[in-house]
Amino acid sequence: MIEIESYDFADDVDYAASQQQGSQSIMRSNSGKMKDPEGGEVVYVKDNVSIHPTQYMSERISGRLKLVKQDDSLFMMWIPYKGQNTNTRLSERDRNLYTIRPLPITDVRSIRRHTPPLGWQYLIVVLSSGLAFPPLYFYNGGVKEFLATIKQHVLLVRSADDANVFIVNDFQDPLQKTLSSLELLGVVPVVAPSSAAIAVSPTSESQEKMAECACDTNCGSEFIERPKYKVNDPARDFSIQLLEKFSLVTKFARETTSQLFRENSGENLFLSDGRKPNHIPALPAAPPKLPPNDVQKVSDEVHVPEDPLEFYKLALIWGNPRQPPLSQEEWGDFLDSEGRVVDSEALKKRVFYGGIAHELRKEVWPFLLGHYDFNSTYAEREYLRSARKEDYEIIKLQWQSISPQQAKRFTKFRERKGLIDKDVVRTDRSFSYYNGDDNPNINLLYDILLTYSFYNFDLGYCQGMNDYLSPLLFVMEDESEAFWCFAALMERVGPNFNRDQSGMQAQLFALSKYCLVHWQLVELSDSPLHDYFKQNDCLNYFFCFRWILMQFKRQCADIYFSSFAHHRELRYEETLLLWEVLWTHHLTEHLHLYVCVAILKKYRNKIMGDRMDFDTLLKFINELTGHIDIEPTLRDAEALCLCLGETGAACIPPGTPPSLPLKNALVSSQLEDEILGYTILRKVIADQIASAKEDDLVAFELVFRWEW
Amino acid sequence: MSYAYLFKYIIIGDTGVGKSCLLLQFTDKRFQPVHDLTIGVEFGARMITIDNKPIKLQIWDTAGQESFRSITRSYYRGAAGALLVYDITRRETFNHLASWLEDARQHANANMTIMLVGNKCDLAHRRAVSTEEGEQFAKEHGLLFMECSAKTAQNVEEAFIKTAATIYKKIQDGVFDVSNESFGIKVGYGGIQGNAAGVGTSTSQGGGCCG
């Protein structure tokens, strides 16, 4: 390993001052070895380090912070004092909850120092898992020594973006290694975000925003030409803020974990998978870790906190708890005496978190799809239904009246008819609603699809539309209503079926863009999965094609094995739930893309661990069919959505389906639509290229992958 | 299960010509008239034996509809063999062969072995494409040819195996660098190097293998 001359604390003004004043903290050199009762060597100890479990500064738990060296590893621990809580409301349980049991420093990602102009210094310790401990307030000083001691044992460097952030063991990037080894003492921060982090920043607009607040780092003290990056990269700041938000919610995480493990393991907190850490021989168990994948187990038990703000913070990590489906009674409450939906946003939100009881879908779906106006009354809807039924019959007559002689001279019609004819008998036939010979529902599928191909002749019919229609007909149980709901749905997902696949390409593109930003900002990593996809020619995200095309239909765990051996029965339960949640457009119009990311995240380690290439990955994704659990996936997707918020949303170019095309470019025919899609994509790609740095070929790769 | 080689196959052709049924007949030995249409791609696999060597066929069954062509093209890469299927009862599926072939030539490696399959030959009374026409097309374009029925299983086994035998012959003739996976061939541990658990421990006798 390269010897790295990193930040030297000797030139830190605060540090020097604290040294002069004679700090009360004890820094023990090797000569003054002190044994910790648990068997390690105590290299740092500080009293009166406290946390404030609530927003009130008066409520505080004080304790002793220690760094203990055992073998070659350094551990950090913080033990609250017994019976010294400043407030009686804080129980013994709280004490246990916050205790930091020996934690290997290697598990720490970063430490942020806060030096408020008034008040005490505090540190926030962020773990590599992304979770953070509550702020540790140093009432007796000692922050510098704490950092200096850590620095003696592990690599600790200042972040390039924020002089108060210290990154632990973060030297995977050879460039960073080189830079840091060339660094003058503490003059310039060393850890830079990778060039890729800047190459693909959210949008051109946010690029500009970034540029506005960016300061140039090209100061004279630098010896080598460094890639230009922005010291105050708001994206980077954002991620740090985000992690700090996480630190505020650790109380819930810890409470829950302790609840879960108290029964089994008494006082001891084990790793959340129940494993006892084996790398800390003589010391007690490590504090609970909550890696993202395991969070779900825990979160099922979480009670809804009363404080709405806390509730929101909690959602940042693992999404809000799912609710039971919207019931008949609740639905009634949403309507006024004449049948108007009084608060449509509240309704959408309710559906977003719980879905709809099956028997109500028929009533609520037309609103979600935009077939009914939320402001319409019972009477207006009744009228609309009959008027629309007549309209439907008229359109249907258009093709029904084509004589065989006329059809002979109408190739397009014959082709569509033939295709639909072949496809309706291959649509959800294992589902009882469509199985059996001469099933009349198959004929309804046929009539509706052919009628739609006349209603929207430009889009016509494409395989996959049948998959959207079959659940709609099953729910609506009425030909004309199913047709109009289908037509409304096609207003949204129709671009999935553009002949040139521009709608699909736009979504896959947005997905890849979002993923890159996500890995960098949220995972705080140099996006290993992205690099992995890049190396393995997977950056086109084609493996998500079917998910997006059919909005996860056939992917959800819809297939049940009945008691008869080998008899599979298809139900739609999961698909219907997912669809109605997506259709609410609550939080985002593109929740389906977040769902993709949630699933990829879940299997990321598997994908990379098994070194899947494009073919293997495609096969793996295919084999997930029927294994995607919707409720937890939705929570993950929601968390993703909340997590990156605007920054994430900005990765999705305007006009990406199911968003409507840009207003200033409304066009009528599909040909123009295609040109528009092409133009938008061209623009997006151009932006991407403009923001790309020399070694980042992502954008170029993407350009070459589109086959127009 | 160990294999000497793994061949990647791709099945292409118009929608509704019976691609998925051919695959199912080959892998499961059954005909299932009622099944969901293929979106994107589905996978199948089966072991066969050629020259006493266990060979695994990994088969990609693709969606036939025109709209999905751009995505289907990404599946060609690294395919060693292709079954190009048309329906002998529907003339248009035969007429479209040229465009499928063009896609294959453009997106697959030049040495991909292509078997032209005229499916549904059990429906002789509705035949719209003669056997001779199929043969002629194959000859003109350097393809293998066979008429099959996924329903009766006639020639299905043969179509897949004959393709594999041709690929195997190309390996023997040194056409491929089998260590380069872009040819759609993976060398397994069963029977060639004889260095792993499983079939045969002696090296192959045919000269010039193990390229």
How many angstroms separate the CA of residue A542 from the nearest CA in chain B? Answer: 7
Please give the pLDDT value at position A40: 80
Q: Which residues of A touch B42 (CB under 8 A)?
A: 622
Could you give the CA distance from residue B149 to residue B137 in angstroms, rounded to a whole number? 19
**Quick count: other Cβ atoms within 10 Å of Cβ A394?**
10
Q: Which residues of A touch B68 (CB under 8 A)?
A: 463, 501
Burial of B124 (0-12, 13-18, 19+ CB in 10 A): exposed
Q: What residue spans define the domains of chain A?
A: 13-153, 241-287+500-707, 355-496
Q: Which residues of chain B have pLDDT under 50?
A: 193-211
Please give the pLDDT value at position A643: 75
Please give the pLDDT value at position A571: 66
Nearest CB to A497; choose among B67, B73, B78: B67
Residue A368: C-alpha distances to residues A20, A93, A110, A581, A658 (Å): 68, 46, 44, 9, 14
The chain A residue lying nearest B40, using CA atoms, is A546
How many angstroms separate the CA of residue A556 from the nearest CA in chain B? Answer: 15
Nearest CB to A501; choose among B39, B43, B67: B67
Residue A242 has pLDDT above 90, yes or no: no
The chain A residue lying nearest B78, using CA atoms, is A615
The chain B residue lying nearest A423, using CA atoms, is B37
The pLDDT confidence band at residue A566, using thresholds 50, 70 and 90, is: very low
Q: Assign domain A13-153 to its CATH architecture.
A: Roll (2.30)
Give the CATH class of A355-496. mainly alpha
Q: Do B39 and A467 touch (CB under 8 A)?
A: yes
Residue A31 has pLDDT above 50, yes or no: no
Token pair of B103, please?
């896609």
Residue A26 has pLDDT above 80, yes or no: no
For residue A133, what is the DSSP state?
A: P
- Digit-coded pLDDT (tens) for A592-631: 999 998 898 889 888 888 888 888 999 999 888 888 888 8
Please give the pLDDT value at position B207: 36
Say which residues have a Cβ less than 8 Å from residue A103's Cβ, sequence separation at least 6.
Answer: A75, A76, A77, A127, A286, A287
* Chain A interface includes B30 (CB < 8 A): no
- Digit-coded pLDDT (tens) for B134-174: 999 999 999 999 999 999 999 999 999 999 999 999 999 88
How many angstroms separate the CA of residue A419 from the nearest CA in chain B? Answer: 8
The contact set of A with B (CB < 8 A) is 419, 422-423, 425-430, 435, 462-464, 466-467, 497-501, 504, 540, 542, 545-546, 549-550, 554, 614-615, 618-619, 622, 707
Which one-letter amino acid corresponds to residue A291?
A: P
Residue A254: C-alpha distances to residues A43, A94, A435 (Å): 27, 10, 51
State the complex-level ipTM. Answer: 0.87
Per the CB < 8 A criterion, the answer to whether A193 and A232 are in contact is: no
Residue A467 has pLDDT above 90, yes or no: yes
- Digit-coded pLDDT (tens) for A207-221: 443 333 333 333 333
Tell me what the pLDDT averaged over chain A comes to.
72
SS3 A602: helix
- Digit-coded pLDDT (tens) for A406-448: 999 999 999 999 999 999 999 998 888 998 888 999 999 999 9
